Amino acid sequence: MIAAPLLLDGRPGLEQARAEVSEAVRAFVARHGRAPGIAVLRVGNDPASDRYARQIDRLFRSVGMGARVVVLDESASPDAALGEVRALNADAAVSGILIQFPMPPHLSRDAVVDAVAPEKDVDGVHPLNLGRLLTGRGPTFIPATPLGGIELLRHYGCPMARRYAVVVGRSEIVGKPLALLLLQEQATVTICHSRTPDLARFTREAEILAVAVGRPGLVRGDMVREGAVVLDFGMNVVDGKLVGDVDYESARERAGAITPVPGGTGPMTNATLLRNTLRAAEWLSR
């Protein structure tokens, strides 16, 4: 057992972003006579999505931005969903659009994402923005969750250059873009996933271990290298409690730094959404 790990708390970073964005929004309003705004679109009434949408609404209003939550019925047709996205694209009061997932199976995730105007894609999920991230040809919006994780490491002074990083998870919204961002920071990166044979063989070597699979307790303490920096992006509800993909209690016995769940990467995702929406408003106002 090593000394108690550094707790990578994302809340101070979020408060810093709120202060910066609040000041910038006041300046934006003074120049343009209107505030930036975000629209959150979801289909259906998933309780977790509802809670998050209300959280985003409160956060954005707290910094002087507009916020709108658009909820379509579970049975909404593809035409209705795509029509709503196009209406938000055309709405001058909407600077950024956040699509909530998952969606009902009869709707195509790709079709909905592709319909979002890239210049309003503040979560960085449109293929154009992901392609710009891959090729390094900007400007682009970077997916909020992985960028928030990188900002969290910067906030606490955790070095990334010349470190060996293992990303467990291959989604287009966290795992793959996070690997690209770590490469940009001069880390050496391996991508694993839930079907990787002998996953522990890779995780035990990682100086930076990031987990984003959606399986509670997938990574145990004995799978963590001593002194490693552990980023847990998992958000799972188990027995009414929010837990991550890393078994926190056993992992903290070996980690040098670790994110709590909740309170770690989540607040930094929100900080990135604030900054991205402000950037979108500035681009659109040119």
All structural domains of the chain, each given as residue ranges with its CATH number in brackets, are 33-118 (3.40.50.10860), 143-266 (3.40.50.720)
pLDDT at 2: 57
pTM for this prediction: 0.94
pLDDT at 100: 95
Contacts 24+ apart (CB under 8 A), 185-191: 185/150, 185/160, 185/161, 186/160, 186/161, 186/162, 187/160, 187/161, 187/162, 187/163, 188/162, 188/163, 188/164, 189/165, 190/164, 190/165, 190/166, 191/166, 191/167
For the chain, residues with pLDDT lower than 50 are: 1
pLDDT at 46: 83
